[in-house]
Amino acid sequence: MASTTKRKWLEEGLNVLAASGAAALTIETLTNRLGVTKGSFYHHFQHFRDYKEHLLTFYEDERTLQVIKSAERREAPLDRLELIIQGTLHEVSQLEVSMRAWALQDLMVRSFQQRIDQRRLAYLAELAFQLCHDRERAQRIAHMLYSIFVGSQHILPPVQGEELEALYREVERSSDFLSGTGEVKHNGKEA
């Protein structure tokens, strides 16, 4: 029998969610995909609810807290924002869509998704504030950027790559982040 780490169970859970949605997330599906027995599952988790809590915490850590931590390694607020924007461009995140669908059906998932959304929005608002020095405006900018991110995943086909980047750049231009002229420069060139 193969040895399966707790992290592997959690990674596989996210893979199942992304591929097939919450209805497919069962102990049996996970054990089949990992090639292990149910005993292996219960070695790491007391019951499915325990697994679900660990999975949601893992998702929050990997998809929000680690992204913020990575961005914080950058010195300038615009560089932090750019890192976040670039991270959303080429990855169609069916996982994000599946999580939001699951949150509509499950109160525990909904509470995690609300907390994740609030953390993401708060971080974007703080970055925007550091650039525009107006709290209300920073909140609106954060909501615009985050709405583009969430909405782009729900349009069929999803908006991604250059098309998604153009939407973000339009918000930056209209938000007048740097100079009051509406011109935002990235990598030394006008965006």
Sequential DSSP letters for 90-111: S---HHHHHHHHHHHH-HHHHH
Residue 84: other Cβ atoms inside 10 A: 20
Q: Which residues pair with 185 in a beta bridge?
A: 190
Residue 158: other Cβ atoms inside 10 A: 18
Enumerate residue ranges in the chain where pLDDT < 50. 1, 178-185, 187-191
Instruction: Find out whether 185 and 155 touch, Cβ atoms under 8 Å.
Output: no
Distance CA 26, CA 131 (A): 45
Instruction: Determine the distance from the C-alpha atom of residue 92 to the mean position of all C-alpha atoms in its chain, rounded to a whole number.
Output: 11
The predicted structure's pLDDT at residue 63? 93
Distance CA 160, CA 167 (A): 10
Instruction: Find out whether 122 and 47 touch, Cβ atoms under 8 Å.
Output: no
Over residues 13-69, the pLDDT tens digits come to 999 999 999 999 999 999 999 999 999 999 999 999 999 999 999 999 999 999 999
Spatial neighbors of 126 by CB under 8 A, at least 6 apart, are: 138
pTM of structure: 0.88
Q: Which runs of E-coded beta strand occur in the chain?
A: 185-186, 189-190
